């Protein structure tokens, strides 16, 4: 045990549990004796919680079982006590009806776990899409020193025609199937080859986007976000994370709220734009900002996107996978190229500022990390539009859309829900042509817990003619690996009575990206008649978590968190409260 550890013991959060010579102290210490910890250990060492979202149901997070062992080694080497805690694991591909509502449930579990137990610092082990923002949200509210380690990108197999064995490749493959360009046997071959290793998506889907953004926020070690899950360097990082967690515990910080200020969020948004990242990250950052009291608005994403070019040449906006981005210098190299556009004084959990990390970085491949004057593609990588159809805003992943559709007026074809879309999209009687605008509603936060259904399928007969993109509008989300001119997160949603609920097939809709407008071209008198006739759908969730969710979830432009979880929280149990109370004996 180091002298520093002994001297700082009285200020450790866990001291309230373990360092009192009374009945509660006796009960708390003797409880962990069954884990092999002695009275001296608990009276002297800092406690580090390892919050692990490993699960057999979640292949994106499979490597976390091994990484937790390495984190534990790092904590022990630094003189701390590692306590691993299993948390809910949200499997993006398997959980139904959609993973999204369970982000808030895991965030609540993480917050209450951190607040309620004797943890001086916390390591967050995450990977798949929703596990990352959920743990961040919970840890931000609990406000104990925290450091993040993700599972790492998978290593896809290469296939004929390029690196198609990715989630982005799945969408391309499905489009080819719908167009009749591939034999049925190709589907079986693709399925056998599509998963190469454990780990999250290796392109700039939501998981990789969130990992990079977490590093940009300052909550992860530099260069940690892109190391593949199968790379030995990820285990080395895990040991370093464990060691750093002990240092954070002994120092008492910085805590999430010391790091997550408006500068940190600006930097995170800048990196999101530079990598052509997932639009889902917009929702997660809005929710995280709400947890720490930063007044982040949807419009800020558009402001930053106008000045930050797309410089990471990574799928789906570019050509390559995330491992190439790591080899080109990773997030520190992105910081270096973007330095004039960042807040370089922003703090990080490793003790250096963003500016210090950028100064020490090197860009080793300027085809992967492009200079700002030579972006991967011109214009903004994401766009926020408002108008009569989206009074509180909607978003477009411009980096994955067809600019030819950025100024478009067309006839709406409306689908009430995803089942009617699946049943009718290929019906010739609907009269859908390439100029039509497909509208899907009742799939927002309250309508259907906001699944990733925003990339509406194009009718087969149009695909067969070579049509690969159309304007599509919904209150749903879209996978970060998907592409197309999809207007997403329309707010307010249809289920809340937003204007999207009042659109009828045959109405004209106008999208004007340059003017940042999305308008329903129906006169106000007619809209008032429709509003008077509109009635909300019957509530189908009458019990349990989904009842709670639908009763308290906020709209997309606020991040879809629960209304009762926004704003500053005390973080810890009030001093003295329940310190003398012991249950269970």
Q: Are residues 130 and 213 in the same domain?
A: yes
Among 500, 518, 533, identify where a domain stops: 533
The per-residue pLDDT for 393 is: 98
| Number of domains within the chain | 3
Does 191 fall in a domain? yes
Q: Are residues 458 and 336 in the same domain?
A: no
As a whole number of angstroms, the distance between CA 491 and CA 498 comes to: 7
Buried b (16+ CB within 10 A) or exposed e, 185-195: eeeeebeebbe
CA-based nearest residue to 489, from 502, 478, 475? 475
Does 22 fall in a domain? no
Q: Are residues 179 and 143 in the same domain?
A: no
Q: Count other C-beta atoms under 10 Å from residue 157's C-beta.
A: 15
Q: Are residues 286 and 400 in the same domain?
A: no
Does 432 fall in a domain? yes
Does 317 fall in a domain? yes
Show the CA angle centred on residue 402, arms to residues 397 and 406, nearest 5°. 80
Q: What is the pLDDT of residues 27-70, one digit of tens each?
A: 999 999 999 999 999 999 999 999 999 999 999 999 999 999 99
Q: Are residues 446 and 514 in the same domain?
A: yes
Show the CA angle centred on residue 266, arms to residues 297 and 311, nearest 5°. 115
Looking up residue 470, the CATH number of its domain turns out to be: 3.50.30.80
As a whole number of angstroms, the distance between CA 155 and CA 161 comes to: 17
Q: Are residues 85 and 224 in the same domain?
A: yes
Does 89 fall in a domain? yes
Does 516 fall in a domain? yes
The per-residue pLDDT for 189 is: 73
Q: What is the pLDDT of residues 436-477, one digit of tens each?
A: 999 999 999 999 999 999 999 999 999 999 999 999 999 999
The per-residue pLDDT for 450 is: 96
The contacts found for 511-515 with CB under 8 angstroms, 24 or more apart, are: 511/385, 511/405, 511/406, 511/407, 511/408, 511/409, 511/437, 511/471, 511/487, 512/385, 512/406, 512/407, 513/383, 513/385, 513/396, 513/398, 513/406, 513/407, 514/406, 514/407
Boundaries of domain holding 319: 46-155+197-359
The per-residue pLDDT for 567 is: 83
Does 369 fall in a domain? no
Q: Are residues 98 and 186 in the same domain?
A: no
Q: Are residues 113 and 189 in the same domain?
A: no
As a whole number of angstroms, the distance between CA 167 and CA 342 comes to: 31
Looking up residue 273, the CATH number of its domain turns out to be: 3.40.50.2300
How would you write the pLDDT of the chain (585 residues) with one tens digit per residue? Answer: 444 444 455 589 999 999 999 999 999 999 999 999 999 999 999 999 999 999 999 999 999 999 999 999 999 999 999 999 999 999 988 998 899 999 999 999 999 999 999 999 999 999 999 999 999 999 999 999 999 999 999 987 654 434 454 556 666 667 666 666 677 777 777 777 776 778 888 889 999 999 999 999 999 999 999 999 999 999 999 999 999 999 999 999 999 999 999 999 999 999 999 999 999 999 999 999 999 999 999 999 999 999 999 999 999 899 999 999 999 999 999 999 999 999 999 999 999 999 999 999 999 999 999 999 999 999 999 999 999 999 999 999 999 999 999 999 999 999 999 999 999 999 999 999 999 999 999 999 999 999 999 999 999 999 999 999 999 999 999 998 888 999 999 999 999 999 999 999 999 999 999 999 999 999 999 999 999 999 999 888 889 999 999 999 999 999 999 999 998 665 455 555 456 555 544
Does 276 fall in a domain? yes
The per-residue pLDDT for 1 is: 42
Q: Are residues 203 and 182 in the same domain?
A: no
The per-residue pLDDT for 168 is: 62
* pLDDT > 90 in the chain, percent: 83
Distance of CA 491 to the CA centre of its chain: 19
The per-residue pLDDT for 572 is: 54
Q: Are residues 277 and 189 in the same domain?
A: no
Q: Are residues 226 and 248 in the same domain?
A: yes
CA-based nearest residue to 484, from 453, 447, 515? 453
The per-residue pLDDT for 335 is: 98
Q: Are residues 304 and 418 in the same domain?
A: no
């Amino acid at each position: 045990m180091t002298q520093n550890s002994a001297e700082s013991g009285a200020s450790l959060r866990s001291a309230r549990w373990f360092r009192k010579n009374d009945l509660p102290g006796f009960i708390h210490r003797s409880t962990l004796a069954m884990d092999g910890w002695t009275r001296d250990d608990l009276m002297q060492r800092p406690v580090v919680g390892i919050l692990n979202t490993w699960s057999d149901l979640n292949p994106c997070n499979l490597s976390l079982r091994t990484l937790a062992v390495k984190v534990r080694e790092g904590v022990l080497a630094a003189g701390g006590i590692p306590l691993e805690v299993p948390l809910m694991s949200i499997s993006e591909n398997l959980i139904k009806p959609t993973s999204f509502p369970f982000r808030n449930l895991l965030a609540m579990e993480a917050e209450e776990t951190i607040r309620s137990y004797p943890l001086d610092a916390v390591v967050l082990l995450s990977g798949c899409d929703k596990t990352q923002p959920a743990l961040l949200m919970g840890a931000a509210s609990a406000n104990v020193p925290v450091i993040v380690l993700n599972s790492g990108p998978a290593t896809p197999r290469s296939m004929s025609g390029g690196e198609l064995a990715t989630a982005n490749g799945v969408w391309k493959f499905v489009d080819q199937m719908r167009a009749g360009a591939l034999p049925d046997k190709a589907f079986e071959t693709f399925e056998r080859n599509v998963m190469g290793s454990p780990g999250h998506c290796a392109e700039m889907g939501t998981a990789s986007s969130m990992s990079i953004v977490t590093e940009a926020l300052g909550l992860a070690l530099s260069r940690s976000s892109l190391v593949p899950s199968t790379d030995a360097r990820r285990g080395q990082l895990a040991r370093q994370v464990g060691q750093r967690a002990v240092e954070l515990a002994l120092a008492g910080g910085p805590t999430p709220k010391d790091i997550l200020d408006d500068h940190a969020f600006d930097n995170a948004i800048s990196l999101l734009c530079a990598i052509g990242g997932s639009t889902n990250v917009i929702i997660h950052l809005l929710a995280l900002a709400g947890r720490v009291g930063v007044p982040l608005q949807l419009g800020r994403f558009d402001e930053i996107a106008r000045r930050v070019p797309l410089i990471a040449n990574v799928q789906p906006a570019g050509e390559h996978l995330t491992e190439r981005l790591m080899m080109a210098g990773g997030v520190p190299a992105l910081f270096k190229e973007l330095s004039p556009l960042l807040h370089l004084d922003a703090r990080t959990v490793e003790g250096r500022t963003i500016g210090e990390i950028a100064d020490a970085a090197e860009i080793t491949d300027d085809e992967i990390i492009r200079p700002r004057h030579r972006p991967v593609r011109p214009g903004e990588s994401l766009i926020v539009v408002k108008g009569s159809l989206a009074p509180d805003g909607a978003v477009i992943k411009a980096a994955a859309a067809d600019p030819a559709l950025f100024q478009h007026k067309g006839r709406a074809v409306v689908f009430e829900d995803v089942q009617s879309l699946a049943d009718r999209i290929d019906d010739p009687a609907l009269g859908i042509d390439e100029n039509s605008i497909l509208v899907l509603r009742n799939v927002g936060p309250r309508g259907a817990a906001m699944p990733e259904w925003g990339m509406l399928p194009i009718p087969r007969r149009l695909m067969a003619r070579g049509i690969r993109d159309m304007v599509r509008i919904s209150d749903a989300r879209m996978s970060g690996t998907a592409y197309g001119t999809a207007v997403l997160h329309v707010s307010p949603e249809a289920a809340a009575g937003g204007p999207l609920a009042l659109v009828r097939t045959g109405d004209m809709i106008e999208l004007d990206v340059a003017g940042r407008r999305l308008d329903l071209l129906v006169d106000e008198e007619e809209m008032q008649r429709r509003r008077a006739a509109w009635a909300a759908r019957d509530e189908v969730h009458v019990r349990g978590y989904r009842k709670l969710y639908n009763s308290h979830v906020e709209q997309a432009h606020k991040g879809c968190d629960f209304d009762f979880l926004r704003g500053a929280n005390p973080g810890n149990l009030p001093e003295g409260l329940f310190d003398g109370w012991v249950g269970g004996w």
